[in-house]
Structures are given as structure tokens and as C-alpha cells.
Amino acid sequence: MTIILGLESSCDETAAALVTSDRRILAHKLATQETEHSPYGGVVPEIAARAHVEALMPLVEAVFAEAKLTLADVDAIAATAGPGLIGGVMVGLVTGKALSLASGKPLVAVNHLEGHALSPRLAEPALEFPYLLLLVSGGHCQLLRVEGVGHYRRLATTIDDAAGEAFDKTAKLLGLGFPGGPAVEKTAASGDPRAVPLPRPLLGTSDPHFSFAGLKSAVMRAAQSGEWRVEDITASFQQAVIDCLVDRTRRALAASKNLSALVVAGGVAANQSVRSALEGLAAEHDLPFVAPPLWLCTDNAAMIGWAGAERFAAGMTDGLDFAARPRWPLDPDAEKARGAGVKA
Ligand code: KG4
Ligand code: ZN
């Protein structure tokens, strides 16, 4: 049994956790930066980096205190090394390196997306490779065949916005506040998902990818028309996103063989309607459905500690010269999506 300290600071959550290789979360702490960023309706990178500097070490001390352990008790230190807002990533990675140097314990540089991708295995011991993963977060919307630790085949990605980004932008333009996903879900609960006619970009196409930019523009037009209740716009928007996610995932399932499960992870996986739609899709294909508990879907350090534990067990540690990466695809061999903008 090994104990890993996990550090996360790639976006607007600062987090530390102590996780064991036998799936025990000894302690996990998280500081959100909601108050810092909410006046701007989105994450301001410079503010985020400063807030990570202030929050991270107290959280590290707090998890050790809660678990009644010290740095001497851990086997490795896992820190998110990208992708994400580079200032924040550097805060966590440099902290990880300093702790590694001070303790003589190895550093594991973790890809944040790998943290999301392997988090279902922390929650569900029976989950075996290979599984089909729908990774839906604020920065990414991808379908991945997870073949093993460090082995990911990207089957689809978004050619424009990520799903979480669409939730956040919809919330912002409807004045629902920040972060947008939970606010949209809450408002949608009292709306009619069939009320507002909205497009489902790329639905039914043989192309494997996702697109949400056109949906976002349609939501803006619906809001500006003054014709619809906010509840109905959010419910219809959420349904359109779900229809796209389910359609694209169904296509990937049809093209994949020997899967052990359909798995969803990332912040948007905290959405109950998204979870139940995907659960239905898995049942259609006689596949188990795995979704981590809600708190493990949104950014946290337990998933980084767990990815660190999986990598450490496979002998994958990193040197202190490992550089922070603003971009870091899980599948380096994936082709650029046709029509893709700047996002990978
Ligand atoms: O994984 P995550 O915490 O951070 C990134 O790595 O991006 O995902 C954050 C995203 C945000 O866009 C947020 O609005 C969305 O996940 N999200 C949700 C919900 N909770 C968080 N989207 C829809 N419904 C939710 N309940
Ligand atoms: Zn994330």
C-alpha cells in the first residue's frame, strides 16, 4: 500500500488530498475561488494564480493534520502539471517539486485530464480497462478509449466550445451567475425541455466530433427575443446538450469493441440529467455505467492523487525539471478535428 499526496491548481480550485493505492481517501481539502472570480463572470488567470499561492500550502498542512500524517509518510507527490491556466499550474507543480526535494520522495507530474479519466477507478474498484470515457469539463469535451494508465485513444473532441463552457456562457448571458453549470441545472429543473426550439449541432453525422458554438448563439437569440421564460431556455439548452452528448457517445459505442463500461467524468458529469441520459444509453448497450460521485467529477486533488498512485504503481515518476504544460493532449497521436478552432 502506498500513500500519495495530490495537488491541484490548474483552474479555479486549489486542492490537496492524501490518497492510498488501495483507494482510501485519507483527507481531501478544496478552496474554491468563486468569490474572487464571480464579479468578472469567469476565471481571471492572474487572480487565480495569486489565490492558488495563498491557498495551497495551508491546504497541504490541513490534509496532513486531518490524516495525522507527515510528509515523511507519503510515498510520492503528485501534482497537476497541465493542461490549464499556466500560472496556476506552475504554483501547484513548483510546490510539488519543493515538497519532493525537501522530502526526497519522487514527483509524479499528472495530466489533469488523466486525473479526470482515472477518477472513476478510484470510485469503482471493479472498473477495468478498456472503457469508453466521455470527458466533459469546462475546458474539454472528448470521447476517449481508456486502454490503460497512460494509454488513451481520442475518438472525438469538440471543434469549438467545450460542453461546460457552453453551460457557463449560457448562464452568463442569462444572468444566472458563476459557475454556470450548477446554476443552469437548478433553473432548468422548473423549465420545459421541449419549449424552445434549439439546434443540435452535428447530431447524427458520421463525423465523430462535438460542436456547441451554434447552440450557444441560438440560446443568445432566444434570450434576446424576450419570447421565452429563462427556466424554459435553460431546460431546452440542457436537453440539446444532452441529445448531442448521447448521440455522439452512441456513435462511439457502435464503433468500439470489447468495452468494459461506459464512463463519464469531468465537471459536467455532476449534472443529474446528463448522468441519467448516459445511464440509459449504457443500458441500451448492456454495458455497466460508471460515474464518480459529484464531488469527484468537478476539479479536486483526490483524482490527482489517485492518478499519481496509478502512475507510481506503474513505475512512472518524473524529474524535477518537468516543465508545466498549458496544453497537453491525452492522446498525442490524435489528429486535429476537422474544422477545429484553436482548442484541441
Ligand atoms: O472538471 P471541472 O471542474 O473543471 C475543468 O477541468 O474544466 O469542470 C468545470 C465545468 C464548468 O464549466 C461547470 O459549469 C461545469 O463543469 N459543471 C456543470 C455542473 N457542475 C459543474 N455543468 C452542468 N451541470 C452541472 N451540475
Ligand atoms: Zn477539470
CATH of the domain at 220: 3.30.420.40
User: ∠ CA 247-149-269 to the nearest 5 degrees?
Assistant: 35
Query: Does residue 320 belong to any structural domain of this protein?
Result: no
The b/e string for 89-109 (b: 16+ C-beta within 10 A; e otherwise) is bbbbbbbbbebbeebebbbbb
CB atoms within 10 A of CB 45: 14
Specify whether 31 is located in the same domain as 69. yes
Domain shared by 106 and 142, yes or no: no
- Quick check: CB of 82 below 6 Å from ligand 1? no
Residue 280 and residue 237 in one domain = yes
Q: Which amino acid is at 239?
A: Q
Q: Is residue 169 part of a domain?
A: yes
Is 333 within a domain? no
231 and 266 assigned to the same domain: yes
Counting from 1 in the atom list of ligand 1, the atom nearest the Cα of 298 is: 3
Query: Is it the case that residue 218 has pLDDT exceeding 80?
Result: yes
pLDDT score, position 344: 42
Task: Give residue 159's pLDDT.
Answer: 97
| Residue 330, domain member (yes or no) | no
Q: How far from the centroid of its chain's Cα atoms is residue 44's Cα?
A: 19
- H/E element, 310: helix 302-313
Once rounded to an integer, what is the mean pLDDT over residues 86-114? 98
Helices marked H in 13-85 — which ranges? 34-37, 45-67
Ligand nearest to the CA of 180: 1
Please tell me the distance between residue 117's alpha carbon and the centre of ligand 2 in angstroms. Answer: 10
> How far is the C-alpha of 253 from the C-alpha of 15, rounded, in Å?
34
Question: Per-residue confidence at 179, pLDDT binned at 50, 70, 90?
Answer: confident
Same domain, 256 and 272: yes
Q: Give the pLDDT confidence of 6-23 residue by residue, as tens digits.
A: 999 999 999 999 999 999
Quote the cell numbers at residue 334: 490524435
* CA-closest residue to ligand 1 atom 22: 181
Instruction: List the beta bridge partners of residue 25.
Output: 19
Cα(203) to centroid(ligand 1), Å: 22
Domain-embedded: residue 242: yes
Q: Which residues contact 5 (CB under 8 A, 6 or more apart)?
A: 16, 17, 18, 60, 63, 71, 74, 76, 77, 78, 99, 305
For residue 171, give the ligand 1 atom closest to its CA: 14
Do 103 and 13 sit in the same domain of this protein? yes
DSSP symbols for 74-89? -SEEEEEEESS-HHHH
Residue 336 in any domain: the answer is no
Is the CB of 11 inside a 6 Å radius of any atom of ligand 1? yes
Among 86-90, 237-241, 314-318, 340-344, name the one with the lowest average pLDDT. Answer: 340-344
Nearest ligand for residue 268 CA: 1
Domains of the chain: total: 2
Give a yes or no: residue 340 inside a domain. Answer: no
User: Mean of the pLDDT values across residues 219-240?
Assistant: 98
In this structure, are 270 and 303 located in the same domain?
no
Please tell me the predicted confidence (pLDDT) of residue 38.
Answer: 84
Residues 225 and 303 in one domain: no
- Atom 13 (ligand 1) nearest CA: 181
Q: At what angle do helices 180-188 and 230-254 cross, to 10 degrees?
A: 110
pLDDT digits (tens, 9 = 90+) for 256-268: 999 999 999 999 9
Q: Determine the distance separating the centroid of ligand 2 and the alpha carbon of 276, expressed in angstroms.
A: 21
User: Domain residues for 29?
Assistant: 3-117+296-313
Q: Is 78 within 8 Å of 108 (Cβ atoms)?
A: yes
186 phi, psi to nearest 5 deg:
-65, -45
Residue 210 bridge partners (DSSP): 158
Q: How far is the CA of 140 from the centre of ligand 1 (A)?
A: 10
Q: What is the mean pLDDT of the chain?
A: 96
- Rg (C-alpha) for the chain, rounded Å, is 20
Q: 271 falls in which pLDDT band (50, 70, 90)?
A: very high
Q: Which of 266, 256, 285, 242 is nearest to 132 (CA)?
A: 256
Model pLDDT, residue 339:
59
pLDDT tens across 192-216, in order?
999 999 999 999 999 999 999 999 9
For the segment 278-288, the average pLDDT, to the nearest whole number, is 98
Q: Is 178 in the pocket of ligand 1 (CB under 6 A)?
A: no
User: With bands split at pLDDT 50, 70 and 90, how would you rate the model's confidence at 342?
Assistant: very low
Q: Is the CB of 219 under 6 A from ligand 1?
A: no
Angle at which helix 180-188 crosses helix 163-173, to 10 degrees, equals 70
Judgement on whether residues 102 and 235 belong to the same structural domain of the protein: no
Identify which of 142, 161, 167, 343 to mutate to test ligand 1's pocket (most ligand atoms within 8 A of the CB): 167
Strand partners, 144: 133, 154
Q: Do 137 and 275 have their domain in common?
A: yes
Dist CA 101 CA 95 (whole Å): 10
pLDDT for 39: 87
Answer whether residue 340 shows pLDDT above 60. Answer: no
- How many Å lie between the centroid of ligand 2 and the Cα of residue 66? 25
| Domain membership flag for residue 275 | yes
Residue nearest to atom 10 of ligand 1 (CA): 138
Q: Cβ(107)–Cβ(79) under 8 Å?
A: yes
**141 plus 33 within the same structural domain:** no
42 and 68 together in one domain: yes
Give the separation between CA 292 and CA 269, rounded to whole angstroms: 8
* 3-class SS of residue 236: helix
